[in-house]
Amino acid sequence: MKHRCLRKITAAVVITGSAAMVTERLPWSERAAEWLRQAMQINLPIFGVCYGHQLLAYALGGEVGYHPQGMEVGTLEIELLPAARSDKRLATLPVRFNVNLIHAQSVLTPPPGAEVLARSQQDACQILRYGDNALTTQFHPEFNGAIMQRYLSWLSELEPAKQQTYRLKQQQVSDTPFSQLLLQDFVASLGVQQALAGVGLRVSRP
């Protein structure tokens, strides 16, 4: 009954980033993890971003924790792995492209059944695939360069001793159109282009 109700009221889900940490196991986060387990049982379309990427991995039995190399932040390059070529959502993307990131925790060990489709120099699990219905990214496809700049400015104020490091990262910030395609195409795949157009939004490729 619970699964039928979930499918009836939910077409798809995007799990966003969060200031919380998965390992804190906050009550709302644990409830969300249980909800995601139910959603996966009925193959609900899921797109997870940053915290959402980690939360789904945790919910399905993966290991999440602080990355040994510390925070990964800024506009950085990721590399698609050979397995990505078999995924229609990634097949047209270049092997290497820039993404915007800010995270301290990572998926350290993917859950059973998850496929790793991309990596960065620091993080081995930048994109995870769970069959045809769920895809998650450690990076933020919704971030443009301006948003990334603001996060780096905030970090620079928060950690004065690292201001020079963050300023150098700010010089390397850019928009990341290829990463944005992943989220745009997820929305487009739901057949909601007309609904978006009705509220003044448009799904398009750069």
Which residue, among 85, 128, 122, has the nearest Cα to 101 in the 3D structure?
122
Mind telling me the catalytic residues? Answer: 50, 140, 142
Yes or no: say if 107 and 53 are a contact pair by the CB < 8 Å rule: yes
Alpha-carbon distance 137 to 130, whole Å?
12
The helix (H) or strand (E) run that includes residue 47 is: strand 46-49
- DSSP secondary structure letters along 153-176: HHHHHH-GGGHHHHHHHHHT----
